Amino acid sequence: MNKMYISENSKVVVQGITGTQGMFHTKLMVEYGTNIVAGVTPGKGGQEIYGIPVFNEMKEVRAETGADTSIIFVPARFTLAAAMESLNAGITMTVIITENVPVFDMIKLVERANEKGLHLIGPNCPGMLIPDKIKLGIMPDNMCHYGDVAIISKSGTLSYEITKAVGDENIGVSAYVGIGGDPVRGTPMQEAVAYYSDDSKTKTIVLIGEIGSDEEEKTAEYIKEHVSKPVIAYIAGKSAPEGKRMGHAGAIISGDFGTAQGKIEALRKAGALIADTPWDVPKMIKEVM
């Protein structure tokens, strides 16, 4: 079940490699040492970007290069199609960087991915980093070195902030996973926690959450039952005003779920240590080490 697995041996294809963001971040990933074997942009096959061959479709890529991992930078309205192409070509791990993907597209995609055994991360996420080994995403690459703390986050920049603070204190990171903050996505927080709870290289888990949804509460239940490693959590949004979109259904489905206070309480009760500010995290890791 180690589907979330990527390593320096992963063969990566960039979907949307000829776009501004795709091109810019391909360069940074290559510089980091990521093994990018191909790019895909329909209609642009035959070109080369930084010496990387560009193909028209994923099936070709798979046949020609044996790529097993993909990262998607295509515009939101084409994201479902791009991910389905990856899935049908036999890719086993896909990171979707694209933001503003319609919710119904994600519902369809995640169902299919689960059936076919494709592991999805995202959408609207920074991706995944195994420090000093592989960068599969858009996160800054000077944040930290390899070590034994797994960082799992719904938020992008906030997790950069925390990961950098951790790195600055010379604490190493076994994996950084930005799961994204969209309502429907490939990797629920609980699944990521479960993975790193079983991962032999990880000794401590840092969880970064924010207001909205009931994921942190669900994750807290999981932690209580199954996780023996120390978990340090930071939840953003304690001072946030009540959202305009909090309609009847939100209140009905979730009761008091969704507030920062509710999440903090649930996690604390499950045995997690709660950081008051993002910058308290490194100190707390040292205390449990």
Partner 1 sequence: MFNIPLVKNMLIMRGENVEEKVEGFSFPAIVKSQIAIGSRKKAGLIKIAQTKEEAISLCKEYFNRNIAGFQVEAILIEELVTIEHEYYCSIALDASGRQFYLIASKEGGIDIEEVAKTIPEAILKESFSFQEGLSEELAGKVARQLGFNGKQIDTASQIFRNLWDITFKLEAQLVEINPLVLTPSGIVAVDGKMILDDDAAFRQPIVQKLEQKKLTELEKLSKQAGFSFVELSGDIGILANGAGLTMALLDVLSELGLHPANFLDVGGGASKERVYKALELIFKLNPKAVLVNIFGGITRCDAVAQAIIEALNNFSDAPPMVIRLTGTKEKEGIALLKEAGIEAFQDVMEAVEKLDEVLSE
> Is residue 259 a contact residue for partner 1 (CB under 8 A)?
no
249 sits near partner 1 (criterion: CB under 8 A): yes
Q: How many residues bind partner 1 (CB under 8 A)?
A: 63
CA distances (Å), origin 149, targets 174, 202, 209, 249, 281: 5, 6, 17, 37, 11
Marked catalytic residue, from 25, 145, 226, 248: 248
Q: Going by C-beta distance under 8 Å and a sequence separation of 6 or more, which residues neighbour residue 202?
A: 148, 149, 150, 174, 175, 196, 229
H/E stretch holding 20: helix 20-32
What does 141-207 look like in DSSP terms, one character per residue?
SSS--EEEEEEEES-SHHHHHHHHHHHHTT--EEEEEE----SS-SS-HHHHHHHHHH-TT--EEEE
Binding span for partner 1 by CB under 8 A among 3-11, 56-64, 82-90, 253-261: 253-261
Residue from 9, 47, 100, 261 binding partner 1 (CB under 8 A) = 100
119 flagged as catalytic: no
Query: What are the tokens at 76?
Result: 């939101």
Rule CB under 8 A: say whether 21 interacts with partner 1. yes
Rounded to an integer, what distance in angstroms lies between the CA atom of residue 288 and that of residue 275?
13
Q: Give the binding range for partner 1 (CB under 8 A) out of 31-39, 58-66, 144-152, 176-184.
A: 176-184
Of 42-50, 64-72, 183-191, 199-207, the segment contacting partner 1 by CB under 8 A is 183-191
Q: Does 119 bind partner 1 (CB under 8 A)?
A: no
User: Could you give the residue numbers annotated as active site?
Assistant: 248
Binding site for partner 1 (CB under 8 A): 21, 25, 28, 76-77, 97, 99-104, 107-108, 110-111, 124, 126, 138-140, 153-161, 164, 181, 183-184, 188, 208, 210-211, 213-215, 218, 234, 236-241, 244-249, 251-253, 255-256, 277-279
